Structure 1
């Protein structure tokens, strides 16, 4: 391979490696200071819908707070799995309470790494409902969402990436 072709490929490989390292370490270029959960997710580039939802639900400041928090973060692709129009409907101001209930169902108080989460088998979310965490033949799951990347450290907690949006169980109607 000629040097002419090697240099651009090497730069691209280094850029990709640096991006992955930055996401994994939860750091920003801001004097080496570790980023919080929100900034770490935004920097990853695959959580644009989650970031918009957090903003619409006025939860950005809360997740930038001291914590610590554990966030099961659905990717943009996870939001795309929802029925057409769902995200747009949830982002409307009149649906803020429902959006908040869904988003807080993705957050657990405390910093829980993947090993501890699997060992516990369940966790109480900030909306008060429980999620089930288990190892299956298809890999580790939170409810029916697959854990696709775990233990991304942020200054105020930890992020576990999931492939499906978690929907809290509906309240059962009184008989």
Structure 2
């Protein structure tokens, strides 16, 4: 097994997320001890954003906004799907995520978990079908 970043890269379905983590200087953080739970948007999730959004966020002058968005997808602790209970959890960014279930699937805000419990040495990844945007 490897850390969250290496696991995400090896999965091959998180290329945009990996590029964004690099641009935000969050790679070393997510390679750290953790543990972390990452709700990781797939390539398809990033493709749903308005045209030009990703290119804009990857620019150095937008790093603070990118960090805010990416850390909104991370929760402290290793939370496997069996441990997820409906309610609110605090993201590393500071905002709250609403966790629920709909049709037998775990939901995070308006996103649905496509693939749960991708284990890493320092946490767990849950693949989601939308990019989560922090409010405020």
TM above 0.5:
yes
Distance, in Å, in 2 between the alignment partners of 1:164 and 1:138 is: 18
Among 105, 126, 130, which residue is 1:160 paired with? 126
CA RMSD in angstroms comes to 1.0
Distance, in Å, in 1 between the alignment partners of 2:68 and 2:83 is: 25
Matched, 1:150 2:116: yes
Q: How far does the alpha carbon of each residue in 1:113-139 deviate from its partner, in whole angstroms, 9 at most, with x for none?
A: 11222x152210000000001011373
Count of residue pairs brought into register by the alignment = 136
User: Which structure has the larger Rg over C-alpha atoms?
Assistant: 1
Distance, in Å, in 1 between the alignment partners of 2:78 and 2:56 is: 31
Distance, in Å, in 2 between the alignment partners of 1:36 and 1:112 is: 15
Q: Secondary structure at the match of 1:126?
A: coil
Q: Which has the higher helix share?
A: 1
Unaligned runs of 5+ in 1: 1-33
- Structure 1 residue 41, shift from structure 2 partner: 0.4
Q: How far does the alpha carbon of each residue in 1:72-114 deviate from its partner, in whole angstroms, 9 at most, with x for none?
A: 0001110000000000000000000000000000000010111
Matched, 1:116 2:87: no
TM norm structure 1? 0.76
Q: Which has the higher contact order (CA 8 A, sep 6+)?
A: 2
Q: Secondary structure at the match of 1:46?
A: coil
